[in-house]
Amino acid sequence: MNDTLMADNIVEQAAAWRAGGRRVALATVVATWGSSPRPVGSQMAVDEAGAMAGSVSGGCIEGAVAHEAAKTMKDGEPRLLSFGISNEMAWEVGLACGGQVQVYIEAVE
């Protein structure tokens, strides 16, 4: 069974990747408004090759978060991202989840 499907073990996944010598960033949902698909505390780990474990939305913003995570892996600086996803905007930016979400990205040292 895929362990990352089970609740709340993305930190373990990030640590395992880091222990394997890869650069890793951890993204965490710190606030939500409206009908955002994943609750506060949801996490996604990203490694330097772009491998992802977990999620911070229903698949709408993971790509953008992984892109920002790559920057954090390079410069070590944490990032706080806000995604406001209105239904009107959804087609333009390819985000269809609805709601708003704030995601914190940090490097795992």
Partner 1 sequence: MKRDILDRLLAAKAAATPVALVTDLSSGLQTLVFEDTMHGAFGLEADVRDEVRRRIRQDRSGLLTDPQDEDGFRLFVHVHNPAMRLLIVGAVHIAQALAPVAALTGYDVTVIDPRGAFATEARFPGVKLNHLWPDEALAELKPDMRTAVVTLTHDPKLDDPALIAALRSPAFYVGALGSKRTHALRLDRLRDEGLTEPEVKRIRGPVGLSIGATTPAEIAISIMGQITCVRRGENHPC
Q: Under the rule (CB under 8 A), what is the footprint of partner 1?
A: 1, 5-9, 11-12, 15, 18, 26, 28, 30-31, 40-41, 77-78, 80, 104, 106-109
Nearer to partner 1, 5 or 91 (CB): 5
Question: What gap in Å lies between CA 85 and CA 103, rounded to an integer?
Answer: 13
* DSSP, res 56: S
Minimum CB–partner distance for residue 92 and partner 1 (Å)? 28
Place of tokens 């806000």: 82
Identify which of 57, 47, 9, 5 has the alpha carbon closest to the alpha carbon of residue 26: 47
- For the CB of residue 106, give the shortest distance to partner 1 in the complex, in Å: 6
The residue among 27 and 97 lying less far from partner 1, judged by its C-beta, is 27
Contact 56, 44 (CB under 8 A): yes
Give the shortest CB-87-to-partner 1 separation in angstroms: 24
Give the residue with the Cβ less far from partner 1, 78 or 94. 78
Rounded Cα gap, residues 59 and 25, in angstroms: 18
